[in-house]
Amino acid sequence: MDRPTGAGRPLAWAPPSLYRWGCKHFPSLAAASLVTALLVVIFGGIVRVTGSGLGCPDWPLCHGRVIPPADVKAWIEYLHRLSVTLTSIFVVLMAATAVVQHGFRRSLLLPLFAPVLLIVQIIFGAATVLSELDAGVAVTHTAIAMAFVGVLALLTCGSGGWSTRVTEPLKAALRGHRLDRHLRTAMLLLALLTYLLLLSGSYVYRSGAPLACLSYPFCGVAPPPGDSWALQDIHMLHRYAALATGLLAVYALWTAWRVRAANAAPLLLLGGFAALFALQVALGASNVLFLLPGWARLSHLVIASLTFTVAVMAAGSLWGVRIASPALPGKGEAPKGVASHA
């Protein structure tokens, strides 16, 4: 059997049937990885809202057992860990199919970076438990988790049906348009600002500042004599970040409106982002005005994650992120560069 040479060709040992399976299912595995990663975020929010972060005080076991005891908080934390396991399965399969299709090459940075981030995320998840919810470790845990979601969002918009129906037509339609660079830059900055907004919100909660300002949109009364301004400053910094994100979103939406004749996808994506962001701001105000009700805290976290996901997918589509996927070979036919095993 002739062995392939050169970067970017399929692995020589991979049978044609496995290669075809990888070509067909990589986009589905990427989407499943993204959906389950968002599920992990939701379970993480439930853990935070219910105070179940130490429901399992050890790791990887729970109270020294494989199956946790009959305790609600232990099971909430345990289900969070099980959701991570489900995500891990999809991410490993996705990375494996990418390698089977293309071998090891630089263009596979994102598919191979996803499992690396997952491993780091699991390590920091364990550290969060073992450090008894240290604020710095917990915020780092959130930062890695959302970076992981962002990578999976790019993989999803760069492959399969999204790539052929949205990313590629959008790139072709806006090529040479006078506002193309403006829109792409604005969307990239919007995704980055949304990420920083998420982290600042996490720090507000972990630093004990969610109720440092009890008025909206301004902070309200000054702290009692002798108290530090630090918590109010942390809280207001988060609101200023939200204001900057909102202003940039307005500019990006206006730019998308001006290019709608060439392609309406940016307007639809940014319209979805704007709707989610407006809901997110309303939930943030509810947290302050209603003194952190559980439903508002959980919804605030979930909508923030969805807002960030939409921002990354919009930026990835505008910048033409594409995970190469060759044409499916016919049944019994070997992929290019690999001789038939018959």
Contact 175, 165 (CB under 8 A): no
Tell me the C-alpha to C-alpha distance, in Å, between residue 205 and each of 20, 22, 45, 132, 249: 47, 42, 12, 16, 25
277-335: per-residue pLDDT in tens? 999 999 999 999 999 999 999 999 999 999 999 999 999 999 988 775 544 444 444 44
What pLDDT is attached to residue 113?
92
What pLDDT is attached to residue 225?
59
CA–CA distance, 196 with 190 (Å, rounded to integer): 10
First-to-final CA distance of the chain: 10
What pLDDT is attached to residue 340?
38
194-211: per-residue pLDDT in tens? 999 999 999 999 888 999
What pLDDT is attached to residue 55?
87
Closest CA to 232 of 139, 240, 45: 240
| Regions of the chain where pLDDT drops below 70 | 1-23, 102-107, 132-133, 223-229, 324-342
Tokens of 67: 């199956």
